[in-house]
A and B are shown apart, each in its own frame.
Chain A
Amino acid sequence: MVTADLSAARRIHSSLSLAAPIRAGDLSRFMRPLITALIVLALVHGGLLFVQPTNAPAAELAGDGPQVGVVFDLGGRGDKSFNDGAYLGAESAAKKLQARVQFIEPGDGSDRGAGLRLLAAERRALVVGVGFIFTDDLIELAKEYPDVNFAGVDFAVGTDKFGDPIPPPPNVAALKFREEEGSFLVGALAALVGGSKKVGFLGGMDMPLIHKDEAGYRAGVMHVCKDCTVIAQYAGVTPEAFRNPSKGKELALSQYQQGVNVIFHASGSTGLGMFEAARAMGRGHYGIGVDADQYGEAPGYVLTSMVKGVDNVVYDTIRRVKDGTFQGGIFSYGLKEKGVGYVYDARNRALIPDSVRARLLDIERDIVAGRIRVPSTRS
């Protein structure tokens, strides 16, 4: 049985495969245009090789401070959250601490190790891997380059068979965030501002990292409003769930229609759909952003954003390298260390009553002082 779409396959094939052998006579005459083209191209290339542009941009953010290398996660620059946060932190370290920073954006999986190794081999004072995915590579390289300092943002600390954390190698700083503390605050805020006894949570991929946000958020809601209910939904079980704004909008609309007035999302760009839903529902419906200040996504409808201070943490680590106080170990950043928090500035001040702000400041003090224990897992 030969089907009708053969012609397509033939076309593809004939443009790609070797043609029939051709007699090699008359080469000079018929090949002349081709040879000429080759020579011209080679000459142009040869000429361009010697062009030296003036005032070429510097290879790295320059200074006479510590030499720092940063390898981004596969998402790379421009994600408006995680990687860009690390970039901002390193950039301000270049300005204020005169650090010399080189950035690497890996292409595929093996580039992560290769990028870190490239920087470690230059004996830089600090090499940073941005994202939990660097954990294994950092451990391997730290053992190989004991005189280089490493730092891993969201470094995944393993546990031994007794459930105790396994400390990273002595020259690795595991930079962890207590996202649940920030989520607790925005949970309390959502319940206090929403006023409908129902608040929403929109997660991206259904996974432990996001459950941490949900757990803190729930606890925050319950802390200020015992009889409130939290409607929590996830957009999916794959990483796609972090990139699905239309699903986000659909879920958010259904929550708003059930009487929810405030939704907190931890769902990457899926959350953009939530802001759109808030705008579609009109006055009195709010979304809470995550990781970075997302006010600009829907001005007037963004109550606040739970921010993760990757920039502060990266800057802080570089500062410690410069001061000579860098140490390996597990570093946990929460409200106390200004590693997490929520946005309260001129743009959203009008949305948050002063009494609510005062209440939140109280709660924040209690968390910092240890009077409130914030859960990090759903129970």
Chain B
Amino acid sequence: MRKLRKLWLDGPYLVWMAAFIIIPLFTIVYYGLTDKSGAFTWNNILEMGTPERMKALLLSLILSLIATAFCLVMAYPLALILTGMKGGATAFIVSIFIIPMWMNSLLRILAWQTLLERNGVINQILGMLHLPKLYIINTPYAIALGMIYDFLPFMILPIYNSLQKIDPNVVNAAYDLGANKFQTFWKVIFPLTLPGVISGITMVFVPALTTFVISSFLGGSKILLIGNVIEQQFTQVGDWNVGSGLSLVLMVFILISMAVMQHYDKAADEETTKL
């Protein structure tokens, strides 16, 4: 591989990476830590302390944790079922769970508005069946549902993938050594899929924590998540310094979640090597 070095391919993408990945992040730090005149200040970060922003941040954290938990609990059995399938149809069935991602995601979330509305599709069906109606549109419940719906495939895919990689002999060995189904799952299968579970959790948690589309489509105009607060700072208020300060706070939470996940990822790695 070293021979390919002489092709001089290093330049373009390193320049691109510096210009459009690294420098932009420093621009956020710069705007976040200065005021309009360019003098250093902590005020933009402290702006997060106002009651309504703290409320938005807290609600975002709660909803994204709930959505992540639901996605995990829903996706794992599905991945197990998919893995257990035999025959040529499996690839087709797996792709059925991926294909929805090809429809414009904004429209798909918007469609939930129609499904959940007071006189929406779901309530009409419930009415026909004489069942109690569901009034969750413009509440945090609708936002959580939107998150679960939108990000579920991101949880299914990595878990399914890590289940696929498990050597069936390892599972058979556990049975041969007298483990029952429950023990085999908890002691053998689940630990082996931890890397997939972890990447699924990060792929759901971060987008859910920072979304502003789902909340503005399904939460009405009254419920704000931290993503909405930041988005409004940039597009409506036009205060880039405060917006950047708030983004820096949000980035701290993203970094914390990554650090936690990395910690568990390492632990899982060690577990696996012990096996």
Q: Do A and B come from one complex?
A: no
Interface, chain B (partner A; CB < 8 A): none
Interface, chain A (partner B; CB < 8 A): none
